[in-house]
Every structure is written in structure tokens, then in C-alpha cells.
Amino acid sequence: MKNIKIIVATHKKYEMPKDVMYLPVQVGKEGKVDLGYQPDNQGENISSKNPYFCELTGLYWAWKNLDADYIGLCHYRRHFSMAKRLPKSVKERIDKVLNKQETEKILEYTDVILPRKRNYYIENLYSHYKHTMYIEPLDETRKIIQEKCPSYLAEFNQLQKRTSAHMFNMFIMKKEILNEYCTWLFDILFELEKRVDMKTYDSFHARFFGRVSELLLDVWMHTNHIKYEEVKVIDIEKVNWLKKGMAFLMAKFTGKKYGKSF
């Protein structure tokens, strides 16, 4: 039996999976009211960076402090699932998230589980980011990779060609692989933190570290030829796709950046 721990990054009280492999983690706990979940400000941590690093403060805590054979990350409103059909209510959907038995079965033939790729169809990953967010942090990330780990540059440049990616900062990885990935990822992000002034952006756009890391996952996976299995991602709450689509079209054709998450 595998020792698997999947942290559920959250900043508020919410319905949580009942399976024992899930560990709700209060991200950005430093200076905040205790929600009764595992806080991300214990042990070695970067909890105070949460306004900029988002769920990555939870990932960092898990990387540095969790003892498990496999470690994963999901979100309070977004989970892996094998379900073919989803009920309407939040409580019923929570019961449909990936369970330990299903996870162990997949990990018999792979060391990494990723979400199914998100397709953008009409534009590449770089142009989508440029239309919806401020591109400067991503361009600075390229410079850092060129300086610190140039062997990854070819895959980073593929962002200007690829139209799909494993998004959401969601995955389940064997601990040894997670250690290699996080060592590489946070080295880049901490350097990016030194070079980009977060105060030049509003609170929404200052959270670019989490968004940049979404795109870096495939850069690392492809460069290192890591094999993986994809699993469907479900939203626990209903997504307003019309509103989201309209916001994207506004960004693409009028230059209006996103102002909130959808």
C-alpha cells in the first residue's frame, strides 16, 4: 500500500474530500485566522509569500515538511476525478473526486499523474498569457532560464507554438520526482521575485508566480522526458463558461486584461 498525500490548497472553509489521502492545507496562514486545517506556516515555509505565490506556498510546505511516497496538489474547488458524470451539488461532487484505490491503481504503471491538457485552440500559450495577463514576468522567466538552466530553453520557447498545456498547478508525483521539480521551480521563482517588482501590479496580477509556474510544469516534464498519466479535472462549483469566454475575447481583441479568476 502506497503512502500518498494530496494537499488541498484552500484559503477558506469548504467541503473537503473524506478520503484519508487528502490533507486540507490553509495557504497564506501567516497572520490569518486559523481555519482548523493544516497551516502552511509551520516548519520550513514561505506562507508570507502567499499573496503572490498563491497555492505554491502550500506546495512548498508539502515539499519541505510532508513525509510520503507520493505528494500531490489540488484545489478546494478543483479536483482530479474518474467520474464520467457529475451530480449538481457541491457535496455530491466532492464524493466523486479521485480516491486512494483509484490513485494506487494508476501509480502502478506511472510515477506522475497530471490533469488532462487544457486546449486554447485559437492561440498559443504565450499569446494567451500576453492577452490576458502582463507578459513581463513571463519574459523575465525566459531570461532566468537562459542564464541558470539553458537546457530548458528549447522547451520554454515552445510556449510560442503549443496551444495546450497541463494547467492548474495540479499533479501527483513520486516524492523523488517532486523534489527535483520543486528544487528547479522555486530556484527560478525566487530569482524572478528579485527581478520583478510586484508593487507595479494590482493584487490580482501580482499573483503571477502561480501563473508562470503553470506553464513551467510542462517545460520541466518535457525536458526531463518524464512519463505521466492524465486524469480528468472537475470543478466542484459550476463554471460560467460564457462569462469566461467573453472575458477572453475582450482580452484578445480589446487589450483588456483579466481582472479576476473565473
Whether residue 61 lies inside any domain: the answer is: yes
Whether residue 210 lies inside any domain: the answer is: yes
**Is the full-model pTM beyond 0.75?**
yes
Whether residue 262 lies inside any domain: the answer is: no
pLDDT band at 261 (very low <50, low <70, confident <90, very high): low
| Grid cell at residue 241 | 463558461
Tell me the C-alpha distance between 111 and 227, whole Å. Answer: 7
* pLDDT recorded at residue 259: 63
Whether residue 172 lies inside any domain: the answer is: yes
Task: Write the CATH number for 102.
Answer: 3.90.550
* pLDDT recorded at residue 254: 65
207-232 confidence digits (pLDDT tens): 999 999 999 999 999 999 999 999 99
pLDDT band at 105 (very low <50, low <70, confident <90, very high): very high
Helical ranges in 72-172 per DSSP H: 90-94, 100-106, 125-132, 136-148, 153-157
Tell me the C-alpha distance between 97 and 14, whole Å. Answer: 14
Total domains present in the chain = 1
Q: What is the mean pLDDT of residues 57-74?
A: 98
What's the domain range around 50? 4-254
End-to-end CA distance of the chain: 38
Pair 36, 16: CB distance under 8 Å: no
Q: Cβ neighbours of residue 1 under 8 Å, at least 6 residues apart? A: 104
What SS3 class is residue 132?
helix
Whether residue 261 lies inside any domain: the answer is: no
CB crowding 226-258: b at 16 or more within 10 Å, else e: bebeebebbebeeeeeeeeeebbeebbeeeebb
